[in-house]
Amino acid sequence: MLRQMEGSHAVAEAIALCRPEVICAYPITPQTHIVERLSELVQEGEIGNCQYINVESEFAALSVAIGASAAGARAYTATSSQGLLFMTEAVYNASGLGLPIVMTIGNRAIGAPINIWNDHSDSMALRDAGWIQLYAETNQDAVDLHIQAFRLAEQLSVPVMVCEDGFILTHAYERVDMPDLNQVQAYLPPFEPVQILDPADPVTIGAMVGPEAFAEVRYLAHHKHLQAVEVIPQLASEFAKIFGRDSGGLIQQYRSEDAETVIVALGSVVGTIRDVVDEMRDDGVSIGAVKVISFRPFPMLALRAALENAKRVIVVEKAFADGLGGIAVNSVRMALRGLTTPIYTIIAGLGGRAITKASLLRAFGEATRDELDDPHFLDLNWTVIDHELARAKEKRRSGPIAENVLRDLGLVGGKPV
């Protein structure tokens, strides 16, 4: 049914349709509206006998999900930013234990300096924690990916993060085609765990594994991700049959098949990029885009096939490694290894900085003329940077950055310095 609704509420209602049995909640902006709406749905009896647990931290949230999942319940939680980092130890543990938990990440920057707005620093920090990571471009994507995520997680015994951009998606009201319960039930059978904490058939879960077998256990986890590369497109096509909508999969191409310049990006910025591609196409530029939906597992072959004829590739990403550059771009390079295609990185949207069409048009234009620096940080205020660099140059020990910038503006401690 077509509805105009907030992204978070759409996700919450999609989760409810997936009949989770245990939901653990800890508030953190910008995912909070999801668990708020879920608490109402549980209270109103919309999710059967689902248990809703208000926990004391994100570490506990995922730990409760771990216990619930090991006891055979379909378990869900959501988090963002610092919350994801706070539960890091449990994130690795959940995948190591092979528990098919689904977790929404309302993508948000990581402090310091504290920042509640969107970028991908949080989920990118945990890209190699053994979880599958799916990135939503729209709220429709977010709804559909969550439904597929439970299927995927339970089929492979691997937990799945569905990443959606904080505020840009979580707080945006837009049209969503909300599936009905019958469709979801046809697609997603009840959770039948392979292994369960059952007193009638007791197992030891989470035993120590030493050097004699640890590498094999880890290799097999790697292999599961390779399997996921096969399974994700299958689940997307099954989804299309039941829901009548192309959604999910590994990647999605937009006017890129014959393009000389191909943009690669994840998440909501792909929407803006589509518009920029259209405008540049109108101006005769041979340009297209590829949306990476599944970042983990990384779709090596599919992406290579989509990019191998491009003359240049531009990766737009909302996170980076200090002193190095982009993060996603490294995986893209891996997919294109052996080819000499120039690859540019545009770091954009950090801490919620708006990514405008105008800025992308300019940067893509420079890249198509091979004039773009790499990595390129979009829309930096060079006045602030140059000033701080000049100041730092005069001092041997320059100190912390954020406070220096603020001090420069006369804002430290609320009084002029």
Residues of the shown chain interacting with another protein in the complex, contacts defined by CB under 8 A: 21-22, 24, 49-51, 53-57, 59-60, 63-73, 75, 89-90, 93, 97, 197-199, 201-210, 212-213
Q: State the Cα–Cα distance between residues 362 and 257, nearest whole angstrom.
A: 23
65/350 with CB nearer another protein: 65
76/344 with CB nearer another protein: 76
Q: How far is the CB of 38 from another protein (least distance, A)?
A: 14
84/231 with CB nearer another protein: 84
Q: How far is the CB of 18 from another protein (least distance, A)?
A: 14
Q: How far is the CB of 76 from another protein (least distance, A)?
A: 12
379: left (phi over 0), alpha (psi -120 to 50) or beta: left
Q: Which residue, 262, 257, 239, is CA-closest to 249?
A: 239
Q: How far is the CB of 99 from another protein (least distance, A)?
A: 9
Q: How far is the CB of 89 from another protein (least distance, A)?
A: 6
71/178 with CB nearer another protein: 71
Q: Which residue, 115, 107, 117, is CA-closest to 163?
A: 107
Q: State the Cα–Cα distance between residues 9 and 280, nearest whole angstrom.
A: 35
202/338 with CB nearer another protein: 202
Q: State the Cα–Cα distance between residues 194 and 190, nearest whole angstrom.
A: 13
Strand residue runs (E) in 13-135 = 22-25, 51-54, 75-79, 102-107, 132-135
Q: Which residue, 194, 195, 184, 104, is CA-closest to 151?
A: 184
50/277 with CB nearer another protein: 50
103/163 with CB nearer another protein: 103
Q: State the Cα–Cα distance between residues 241 and 264, nearest whole angstrom.
A: 28
Long-range contacts of the stretch 216-223 (C-beta < 8 A, 24+) = 221/95, 221/96, 221/130, 221/158
Q: Which residue, 31, 7, 6, 29, is CA-closest to 115?
A: 29
Report the 10 Å Cβ neighbour count for 411. 13
Tokens of 229: 């590369």
Q: How far is the CB of 212 from another protein (least distance, A)?
A: 7
Return the sign of the alpha-carbon dihedral for residues 2, 27, 129, 300: positive
Q: How far is the CB of 98 from another protein (least distance, A)?
A: 12
63/133 with CB nearer another protein: 63
The secondary structure of residue 136, as a DSSP letter, is -
Report the 10 Å Cβ neighbour count for 359. 17
Q: Which residue, 298, 313, 299, 295, is CA-closest to 367?
A: 313
Tokens of 199: 């007193």
57/237 with CB nearer another protein: 57
Q: How far is the CB of 23 from another protein (least distance, A)?
A: 9
Cβ density class 272-282: b for 16+ within 10 Å, e for less: bbbebbeebee
Q: How far is the CB of 56 from another protein (least distance, A)?
A: 3
64/347 with CB nearer another protein: 64
Q: How far is the CB of 153 from another protein (least distance, A)?
A: 16
